[in-house]
Amino acid sequence: MSPEPFGARLRRAMDTRGPLCVGIDPHSSLLTAWGLGDDVAGLERFTRTVVEALADRVAVLKPQSAFFERFGSRGIAVLERAVADAREAGALVLMDAKRGDIGSTMDAYAATYLDPAAPLFSDAVTVSPYLGFGSLRPALDAARASGSGVFVLALTSNPEGAEVQRSTAPDGRSLAQVMLDHIAAENADAAPLGSVGAVVGATLDRAGVALAVNGPLLAPGIGAQGATAQDLPRVFGDAVRNVVPSVSRGVLRHGPSVSALREAALQQAAELAEAVK
């Protein structure tokens, strides 16, 4: 029997738990603010606390791989444990790795995050398409086979991104629109939601692209980067119901108290659900 597609699992999680995605971003400054050392012990305590507080109640947890990789193999071990524990508690895990390459290297990245036998197997992973959308084929195929998802960078929340993403392809479309059109093709006929998503920043004044991709739209930038829940209908228009709003420091700064983290996530989820309904 084929595994249930990520898009269907995500739609159900968003409908039952709310649309909130919480990033697990153990910045050095955040570890310090929690009274923890900027070391593997602090990383492990921070990560376990976030998973304990939120994995049984938010739709998506999104660990940023770089903050674990900086500690080497011991940091990766913490990440492996976090992914397994979060998924066991019912959260969908979106690995924020932003991988992108070609050929056998992309095959290896796909095997790392999208093979059910891999230690870092996640429900979805972020990828960069700017070596050409076709370079993502190993990840797209692996995700389809394992019932996982792929989120493709399209219009990111950092201002530098426009230099590439807003540039014009030979046919007159922006490169971001080219990527979104590829995503829509991958999701054709999927129901209730496709498993290939796009990353579109909530900080944009306007999207300026067609966002009807029949897939989820990961929206970073809410909170510390300046966007609010109230910005989502303006940026995403008719596609707002498929938005997965991502909040990191807006929730994490309330730690290390488990109850305070839960309360912050509950408040964020309620505000976001109201904005996207």
Sequence-separated (6 or more) residues with CB below 8 Å from residue 26: 42, 43, 46, 47, 67, 68
pLDDT at 205: 79
Which DSSP helix (H) or strand (E) runs through 22?
strand 21-24
125-146: average pLDDT: 97
Please state, in angstroms and rounded to a whole number, the distance separating the CA atoms of residues 118 and 83. 11
Predicted model pTM: 0.97
pLDDT score of 39 more than 80 = yes
pLDDT score of 201 more than 90 = yes
pLDDT at 264: 97
Which DSSP helix (H) or strand (E) runs through 60?
strand 60-63
- Domain annotation covers residue 180: no
Using an 8 Å Cβ cutoff, are 209 and 155 in contact? yes
- Domain annotation covers residue 210: no
The pLDDT confidence band at residue 229, using thresholds 50, 70 and 90, is very high
pLDDT at 157: 87
168-185: average pLDDT: 97
Q: What is the pLDDT of residues 102-129, one digit of tens each?
A: 999 999 999 999 999 999 999 999 999 9
> Six-digit token pair at 243?
């938005």
> Six-digit token pair at 99?
């991988």
93-103: average pLDDT: 97
Domain CATH for 162? 3.20.20.70
- Domain annotation covers residue 209: no
> Six-digit token pair at 49?
């606390």
pLDDT at 206: 78
Please state, in angstroms and rounded to a whole number, the distance separating the CA atoms of residues 90 and 263. 18
194-199: average pLDDT: 98
Domain of residue 51, residue span? 6-174+193-200+216-276
Report the DSSP beta bridge partners of residue 62. 23
- Domain annotation covers residue 40: yes
pLDDT at 224: 75
166-173: average pLDDT: 95
Residues with active-site annotation:
98
- Domain annotation covers residue 1: no
Q: Count up the domains in the chain and report the number.
A: 1
Nearest by Cα to 8 from 98, 92, 125, 116: 92
> What does the angle CA 133 – CA 138 – CA 141 come to, to the nearest 5 degrees?
100
185-194: average pLDDT: 97
Long-range contacts of 207-211 (CB under 8 A, 24+ apart): 207/155, 207/235, 207/236, 207/237, 208/174, 209/154, 209/155, 209/174, 209/176, 209/177, 209/180, 210/177, 210/180, 210/181, 211/180, 211/236, 211/237, 211/238, 211/239
- Domain annotation covers residue 118: yes
- Domain annotation covers residue 187: no
- Domain annotation covers residue 151: yes
